[in-house]
Amino acid sequence: MFNIPPEEQAQIDKYLIETAKILRKYTEPEKLKDFESIEVEVKHQIMEIVSPSIGEFFFQKGKNLTSSPP
């Protein structure tokens, strides 16, 4: 992976915080009681919600790049 410029890293951080706020809003309260349950829930949400969206974006972007002329 290439180094991400600080201004773009700040943008990533901003979007991640906003995403986390939405995910937390819809998380059952008992899954937010301690570090272990939070860790399990965050990993679950990343695998079930976040990663598929990012993967789909990368897949579509890759298809566009390979079909475009050099």
CA 59/CA 53 separation, integer angstroms: 10
Task: Check whether 10 has a pLDDT greater than 50.
Answer: yes
Q: What is the pLDDT of residue 68?
A: 42
Q: What is the pLDDT of residue 23?
A: 97
Interior/surface letters 22-46, b for 16+ CB within 10 angstroms, e for the rest:
eeeeebeeeeeeeeeeeeebbeebe
Q: Is the pTM of this model over 0.85?
A: no
Domain ranges across the chain:
23-52
pLDDT in tens, 13-37: 999 999 999 999 999 999 999 999 9
Taking residues 37-41, what's their average pLDDT? 97
- Listed in sequence order, the residues at least 6 apart from 4 whose beta carbon sits closer than 8 Å to its beta carbon are 12
Give the CA angle between residues 46, 8, 47 to the nearest 5°. 5
Structure confidence at residue 1 as a pLDDT band (50, 70, 90)? confident
